[in-house]
Amino acid sequence: MLLSFSYSLVAADMVKLLKPLSGDDKRSKHKNEVIVRSLQITEEEFGPFIFEAVEMSMTPKRAFISLKNNENINAYIGPYNKTWDSEIISIKVPIRQGLLSYRLLLVHNSQLAKFSKVKTLDDLSKINAGLQQHWATTKVFTSHNLKVTTTHNFEGLFQMLKRDRVDYIPRAVYEAYDELNMRQPDLKDIVVEPTLALYLPMATYIHISPQEPRIARRIEIGLRKLIDNGEMKTILDKYYAEDISRANLQNRRIIKISNPDYSDKNIEGNN
């Protein structure tokens, strides 16, 4: 997909963003809109731009290499990664306003009684989480010695849960319901556990190639304008208000899991 918003012969800033997983339309549209609006709102200062959503399969590790070398993509949206900070430009403006920090649990409905008894992090440590090997969440879970089974294959996680090889899959509020619905009726016995949520401090940032400092500066200025005028929250609500309401976080038991990569200054939702 190539969307051009260039209206003059002035050299345009070219932003190439990795498109999310196939079928992930809502998250893809949210990411695209945040980027495009940050570019549109800065046209007076910076001029025209061209935006391209690049359809390629990349792990975060591969995305890091691509950003570093300015190959295929020059923008990537994902969790803050402490190890990236010295080599990639991470724009520390939260685009999901804290939503990534809350995780719901996908479980087999036959295991609901077990989860109703989970009250503490120690209780959680006795049951097995299914996670993808390269996720930032996996690093946090292992740092707390939580029981984890990993796989390289995202779809494999759901089959592991279906076959009782893992007890639960923690997913963000804006991920859990959509991912489950997309895989029906194959996962008809898998549900979103109704009583628990995890709070794991994590931020969604836009990461830019170190070879594109002008684009990084432009997007950061644009994002801060969107925060200040309230549009960032409006965009968030446009895509995720239904998920937030359905999650009903205020009536769940929240188990807090500290994240060693995060301090108050880089937790999403703190500006």
Do residues 129 and 141 touch, judged by C-beta distance below 8 A? Answer: yes
Q: In the chain, what are the domain boundaries? A: 2-97+204-229, 99-199
pLDDT of residue 6: 46
C-alpha distances out from residue 19 to 16, 63, 75, 79, 248, Å: 9, 11, 10, 15, 29
C-alpha distances out from residue 106 to 132, 149, 174, Å: 14, 15, 13
Quote the pTM value: 0.88
Tell me the pLDDT of the chain (271 aa) as tens digits: 455 444 445 689 999 999 876 557 889 999 999 999 999 999 999 999 999 999 888 888 899 999 999 999 999 999 988 888 889 999 999 999 989 999 999 999 999 999 999 999 999 999 999 999 888 899 999 999 999 999 999 999 999 999 999 999 999 999 999 999 999 999 999 999 999 999 999 999 999 999 999 999 999 999 999 999 999 999 999 999 999 999 999 999 999 999 988 865 555 444 3
Q: Which CATH architecture has domain 99-199?
A: 3-Layer(aba) Sandwich (3.40)
Q: Which CATH superfamily is domain 2-97+204-229 in?
A: Periplasmic binding protein-like II (3.40.190.10)
Do residues 35 and 206 touch, judged by C-beta distance below 8 A? Answer: yes
